[in-house]
């Protein structure tokens, strides 16, 4: 099975969620940075090859010396390099800002901290809340194959009397296998005649991402959809450069696709709703 380095925006960087792979929470261990004591943000597991992270910050001044309206630093940490400064910015007078960190070299991140650029002194105290609304990472993911000539879920009930070849399907008619010209597939609980269906079965027990590559044999409009049996498998579509085509995830959507071009489809297990996800991915040409 081929493996590629897939770059994408990780969609679920929530705070204080136990089950997410890269969600975050406040660390119980204190760190000293720029002479300031701080409790860093700890990720559930090390974020791989992060190339961009956008952080929403809100600082409330609680001491007699203000920490607002001055320079602050954002630091990242991993077990190999320790603490590294990611960027410097000026904290607004209201203490609210969004900071976009773009790394020249993608880096693994296990902790994150935000502190004044220099020690403001013992009379300065503050509270800080932090959330992450974008995190671009790169993972080495296996590219799974789609089935062709295999038609899942509601096609020829229970598969009795059906034989499939690469390009032909036969059905048992009065004891005789007869080649048929139309293949009927259950799509949205309706039997439709289609020339070919690309499909895949997926069952996941924990939050995960599965990657499929699809190369259309003909240009046209293709329906990409997920027939969910349980859970919440979410679909995202990317072009050959891993740029996301649809703005958000979807369960069923049509796209104009070009013959011979490589497209990548991810199926994400959304951990918050259920521990198990089971579904069939189906792709078919509409025009």
CA distance 100 to 53: 6
The answer to whether the pTM exceeds 0.85 is no
* Gyration radius from the chain CA atoms: 25
Are 23 and 14 a contacting pair, CB within 8 Å? yes
Number of domains in the chain: 2
Q: Are residues 73 and 165 in the same domain?
A: no
Phi, psi for residue 158 in degrees, rounded to 5:
60, 5
DSSP letters, 122-142, are TTB-EEEEEEEEEEEEEEEEE
Q: Are residues 158 and 123 in the same domain?
A: no
Please compute, for residue 258, the number of CA atoms within 13 A of its CA located in the half-sphere on the CB side.
5
Q: Are residues 191 and 151 in the same domain?
A: yes
Q: Are residues 281 and 154 in the same domain?
A: yes
Last residue of one domain, picked from the residues 141, 167, 189: 141
Q: Are residues 135 and 151 in the same domain?
A: no
Phi, psi for residue 79 in degrees, rounded to 5:
-70, -20
The CATH number of the domain holding residue 36 is 2.60.120
Last residue of one domain, picked from the residues 85, 115, 141: 141
Q: Are residues 273 and 237 in the same domain?
A: yes
Q: What pLDDT sits at residue 247?
A: 85
Q: What pLDDT sits at residue 176?
A: 79
DSSP letters, 166-225, are SS-EEEEETTEEEE-S-EEEEETTEEEEES-EEEEEEEESSS-EEEEEE--SS-EEEEEE
Q: Are residues 230 and 253 in the same domain?
A: yes
CA 274, 282, 135: angle at the middle one, nearest 5?
55
Query: Residue 11, SS3?
Result: coil
Q: Are residues 109 and 187 in the same domain?
A: no
CA distance 278 to 227: 9
**What tens-digit pLDDT sequence spans the chain (287 residues)?**
789 999 999 988 877 777 788 888 889 899 999 999 999 999 999 999 999 999 999 999 999 999 999 999 999 999 999 999 999 999 999 999 999 999 999 999 999 999 999 999 989 999 999 889 899 999 999 998 887 655 443 344 334 444 444 345 667 777 777 766 556 666 677 776 655 678 888 999 888 899 999 999 999 999 999 888 888 899 999 999 999 998 889 999 999 999 999 999 999 987 655 578 888 898 888 87
CA 230, 183, 164: angle at the middle one, nearest 5?
85
Cβ–Cβ contacts within 10 Å for residue 280, how many?
20
Token pair for 71: 């320079």
Q: Are residues 221 and 259 in the same domain?
A: yes
The CATH number of the domain holding residue 245 is 2.60.120.380
Q: Are residues 87 and 164 in the same domain?
A: no
Q: Are residues 213 and 84 in the same domain?
A: no
Last residue of one domain, picked from the residues 79, 107, 141: 141
Q: What pLDDT sits at residue 174?
A: 78
Domain that holds residue 234: 145-285
Question: CB neighbours of 93 closer than 8 A, spacing ≥ 6?
Answer: 68, 69
Q: Are residues 150 and 69 in the same domain?
A: no
């Amino acid at each position: 099975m081929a493996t590629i380095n897939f770059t994408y925006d990780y969609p679920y960087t929530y705070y204080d969620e136990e089950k997410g792979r890269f969600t975050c929470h406040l660390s119980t261990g204190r760190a000293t940075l720029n002479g300031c004591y701080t409790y860093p943000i700890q990720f559930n597991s090390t974020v791989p090859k992060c190339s961009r992270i956008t952080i929403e910050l809100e600082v409330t001044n609680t001491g007699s010396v203000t920490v607002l309206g001055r320079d602050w630093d954002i630091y990242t940490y991993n077990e190999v390099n320790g603490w590294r400064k990611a960027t410097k910015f000026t904290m607004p007078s209201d203490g609210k800002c969004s900071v976009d960190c773009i790394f020249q070299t993608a880096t693994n991140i296990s902790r994150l901290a935000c502190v004044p650029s220099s020690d403001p002194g013992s009379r300065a105290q503050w509270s800080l809340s932090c959330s992450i609304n974008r995190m671009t990472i790169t993972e080495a993911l296996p590219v799974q194959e789609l089935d062709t000539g295999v038609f899942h879920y509601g096609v020829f009930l229970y598969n009795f009397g059906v034989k499939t070849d690469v390009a032909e399907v036969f059905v048992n008619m009065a004891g005789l296998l007869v080649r048929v010209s139309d293949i009927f597939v259950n799509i949205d609980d309706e039997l439709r005649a289609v020339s070919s269906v690309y499909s895949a079965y997926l069952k996941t027990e924990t939050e995960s991402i599965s990657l499929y590559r699809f190369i259309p044999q003909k240009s046209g409009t293709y329906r990409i959809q997920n027939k969910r049996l349980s859970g919440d498998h979410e679909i995202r579509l990317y072009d050959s450069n891993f740029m996301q085509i649809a703005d958000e995830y979807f369960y069923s959507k049509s796209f104009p696709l070009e013959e011979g071009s490589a497209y990548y489809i991810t199926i994400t297990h959304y951990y918050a709703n259920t521990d198990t996800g089971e579904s069939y991915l189906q792709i078919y040409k509409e025009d």
